[in-house]
């Protein structure tokens, strides 16, 4: 099979595939919805947030009582030098332990744990934005690659026509072998460009399936999410600084570091604990042994710990300073992302306008040069060069249109609005807030025991 035939068959297969899915068009909203439900990264972030919520419970437990029950029994016997003698004993008791004061270390640790749970919750939102932006990029990559495949197939067909025309003119003495060679060379270049577009499309479709969980169908670039963009750059920056999950994460991280510093300082103070036991025993043949119990108060005051306490405070203070420095860096990064995305939209608009003008003019140039070539005032090379400029302009229009959509969603992500809730996706929002509220009820273990 010749290269020309193989290209025609591939283009036909692609056309049939696109035609078969016309009735099943897949919008950007549908792709985002499917990805939100499918994304493993988002599910992992949700589980991480739930795990972080458990740190609150564990921190609270440090000043709550621990109560336990114990039952033990023994049986002994002997038959040495006389009749069999045996003895049985059963002991049962309750124990109680509680820290009643630890210089407010526990309160600081609870605050740090709550800040950590907030950080994990904001990480869900940040992961959500990254996932949705990746979906949009993959979506537009497939769409633009499909358009490029179709465009480059048209270009191959055009070069095939020009090669046939050059050969025909050569046969009647109106052309030259140079014209045939030039047309043949451009055809080879066009075939290579077409195959590169097909290969790129295969990669783009694989990436799309990775994020969405299914193969792309007939894609459409239209959307109405540009309405979410603020009216000015300064408004966009202000919104990002107040609502972007990365900035909210930084604020929570500062709180967590401050609480960690407070907890480290609290280690210098006294701690007081209370413990108690009560129990009874039954012995055979002696019968009940009565009830016994004890209570103990223990106060511990640290004096010297080999430098560990001071080092812990210094380390906590450094962590707090670092969290503040990191927050400043995050602010700068978000601001840069907003400005970059805003500029990307403006640049894409300018490129689209320029490309549209170039395509309109380029098509007229190609048609005119072909007519002049037929009249003998232009050469085949002139036609081939005009076509190359037209194809370049049309590819530029495809790329600029794709860049406009990606820049729009990038700006939404930069200001913190690329979320399922803001986009109005028909999904249940992934959040660990309810889980955190439930597990903060530290007495639920008792109710679980009662239910059992």
Give the DSSP letter string of 223-277. -SGGGGS-SSHHHHHHHHHHH-HHHHHHHHHHHHHHHHHHHHHHTTS-EEEEEEE
17 lies in which domain range?
3-63+104-269+308-451
* Count of C-beta atoms within a 10 Å radius of residue 238: 14
Q: Please give the Cα distance from 419 to 410 (Å, whole number).
A: 12
Q: Is residue 299 part of a domain?
A: no
Q: Which residues contact 362 (CB under 8 A, 6 or more apart)?
A: 386, 389, 390, 393, 394
Containing H/E element for 144? helix 105-171
Give the DSSP letter string of 115-138. HHHHHHHHHHHHHHHHHHHHHHHH
Q: Is residue 84 part of a domain?
A: no
Asked whether the beta carbons of 276 and 296 are under 8 A apart, the reply is yes
> Residue 76 pairs with which residues in a beta bridge?
87
Predicted pLDDT of residue 24: 66
Q: Is residue 33 part of a domain?
A: yes
What is this structure's pTM? 0.83
Q: Please tell me the total count of domains within the chain.
A: 1
Work out the angle at residue 113's Cα, subtended by the Cα atoms of residues 109 and 118, and round it to the nearest 5 degrees: 150
Q: Is residue 441 part of a domain?
A: yes
Residues 109-166 pLDDT 10s: 999 999 999 999 999 999 999 999 999 999 999 999 999 999 999 999 999 999 998 8
Q: Is residue 109 part of a domain?
A: yes
Q: Is residue 286 part of a domain?
A: no
CATH number of the domain bearing residue 253 = 1.20.1600.10
Residues 376-423 pLDDT 10s: 888 889 999 999 999 999 999 999 999 999 999 999 999 999 999 999
Q: Is residue 291 part of a domain?
A: no
Q: Is residue 283 part of a domain?
A: no
Residues 250-291 pLDDT 10s: 999 999 999 999 999 998 999 999 999 999 887 776 666 778
Asked whether the beta carbons of 145 and 197 are under 8 A apart, the reply is yes
Mean pLDDT, rounded, of the chain: 89
Report which DSSP code applies to 61. G
């Amino acid at each position: 099979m010749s290269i020309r035939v193989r290209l025609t068959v591939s283009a036909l297969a692609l056309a049939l595939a696109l035609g078969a899915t016309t009735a099943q068009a897949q919008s950007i909203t549908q792709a985002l919805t499917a990805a939100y439900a499918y994304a493993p990264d988002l599910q992992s972030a949700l589980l991480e947030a739930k795990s972080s919520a458990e740190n609150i419970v564990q921190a609270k437990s440090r000043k709550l009582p621990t109560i336990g029950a114990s039952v033990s029994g023994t049986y002994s016997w002997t038959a040495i030098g006389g009749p069999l003698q045996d003895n049985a004993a059963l002991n049962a008791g309750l124990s109680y332990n509680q820290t009643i004061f630890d210089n407010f270390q526990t309160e600081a640790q609870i605050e740090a744990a709550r800040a950590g749970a907030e950080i994990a919750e904001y990480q869900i939102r940040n992961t959500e934005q990254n996932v949705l932006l990746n979906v949009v990029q993959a979506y537009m990559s497939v769409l633009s690659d499909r358009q490029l495949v179709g465009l480059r197939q048209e270009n191959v067909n055009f070069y095939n026509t020009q090669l046939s025309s050059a050969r025909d003119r050569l046969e009647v003495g109106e052309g030259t072998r140079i014209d045939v060679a030039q047309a043949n060379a451009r055809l080879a270049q066009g075939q290579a460009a077409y195959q590169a577009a097909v290969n790129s499309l295969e990669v783009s479709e694989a990436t799309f399936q990775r994020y969405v969980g299914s193969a792309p169908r007939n894609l459409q670039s239209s959307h109405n999410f540009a309405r979410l963009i603020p009216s000015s750059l300064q408004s966009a920056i202000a919104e990002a600084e107040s609502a972007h999950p990365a900035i909210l994460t930084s604020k929570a991280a500062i709180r967590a570091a401050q609480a960690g510093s407070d907890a480290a300082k609290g280690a210098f103070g006294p701690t007081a604990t209370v413990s108690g036991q009560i129990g009874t025993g039954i012995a055979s043949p002696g019968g009940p042994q009565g009830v016994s119990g004890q209570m103990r108060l223990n106060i511990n005051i640290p004096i010297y710990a080999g430098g560990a306490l001071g080092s812990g405070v210094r380390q906590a203070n450094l962590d707090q300073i670092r969290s503040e420095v990191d927050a400043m860096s995050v602010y700068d990064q978000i601001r840069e992302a907003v400005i970059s995305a805003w500029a990307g939209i403006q640049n894409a608009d300018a490129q689209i306008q320029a490309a549209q003008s170039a395509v309109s003019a380029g098509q007229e140039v190609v048609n005119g040069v072909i007519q002049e070539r037929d009249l003998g005032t232009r050469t085949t090379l002139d036609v081939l060069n005009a076509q190359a400029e037209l194809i370049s302009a049309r590819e530029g229009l495809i790329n600029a249109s794709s860049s406009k959509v990606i820049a729009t969603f990038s700006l939404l992500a930069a200001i913190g609005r690329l979320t399922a809730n803001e986009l109005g996706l028909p999904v249940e929002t992934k959040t660990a807030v309810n889980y955190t509220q439930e597990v903060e009820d530290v007495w639920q273990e008792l109710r679980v025991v009662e239910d059992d």
